[in-house]
Structure 1
Amino acid sequence: MPTKVRSTAETRERILTAACEVIAEAGFEKIRMRMVAERAGVSTALLHYHFDTREKLFTEAMTHSFAHTALDAERDVDTAPAAVVLARILRNLLPTDPELHQDWRLWQELWARALRDETTRAFAVDLYAQLHAWVAGAVRRGIESGEFTPTDVDDLSTLVLSLSDGYGIRLMLRDPTVTLDRALTAIWRHVAAALGLPETLPET
């Protein structure tokens, strides 16, 4: 990759990482482009060169966040057991570590904004379609390899996302009646029943 192209890509990466952090900390409605520029260590002029509006920066930050989450979960996807890959995805759909906790704050900002803005609503629906495809792809690979019992893939994927959202919100609220282990176990129980797998969540 040419040096200039690599430098531009690295700058965008730094800006998007900073945007994720600032939006998660302050909320979308309170952020200013200057705040992101300062966190990224770039000028506001350079930030505006890459992202001319807050809205574009927000949508790119959400896409960036999702892409990194998917990349982590699907490492060794061609060699790892299908159940392990699916368990990784499930863990990445919940606020299981500080980085994913930050991602969940971004999703909460997205939900709130989508209720008031049609463009953001359409973007949120598209992101959910990508999440659905991510889960469905892992399930289909397991069925095709013979590791999973055939099932209605779309129905199971929708169930997984719905349960993850529900438990994830309770975890973000620090609801004392819901723990991470309990959430993972409950969701995996439904997955295991549908796919003919042991009820014990695989180590990832």
Structure 2
Amino acid sequence: MEAILIALLRTAIVFFMILFFFRLTGKKDIGEISVLDIVVTLLIVDIAVIMIEDTNIPILKGLAPVLLLFAIQYTFSRLSLKNQKFRDIVDGRPVLIIREGELQQENMKKQSYNLDDVLLQLRTKDIFDIREVEYALLETSGALSVYKKGDQYPFSLPFILDGMVQEEHLSILGKSSDWLKKELEARGYSNFEDVFYCGFTKEKYLYIAPRITDQS
């Protein structure tokens, strides 16, 4: 009976620890969970199973690696929020898979993304002909964002994220960093670093969100 109570207590402790972890990572859809979140979650689950099954392990000793994983995840999340380059390393970046009805085979190879994967995701969006697709981007979550031909302006891609110019996105839409710089200067922005977010809206309007500097 005592062993059962100990196991139940450990289970409750692990449950609240994992719940706290997901609260720490913020509210996200399942499809938006990052690779880092998945790795940390799997490790926590493995440790949790060991803690529950092996009652000889002191609870504090079992929780120590879990707390370490929490600290790693929290630190990486803060760094990703403040640093685009670090975020690209940890989470990756969207990759162009289809451009103007043509498959980007080199990009597919780099992502180990085969033709069956493409066709499957297109079918789920009721698209059965690749030529109907204007652009398709493989998101960091693994989902395929598809934009069909015929729209007035197929989609909005960010040109600047957290002060960093997205050269690939500009190239997709036939723009350059020089063009972007002139557009920003005409609106009173002299440096890319002054812009937190910039991108076209569906109405072809250049939306700009200035960076808010820390006054502390």
TM-score by length of 2: 0.27
Higher share in helix: 1
Which structure has greater strand proportion?
Answer: 2
Provide the TM-score with structure 1 as the length reference: 0.28
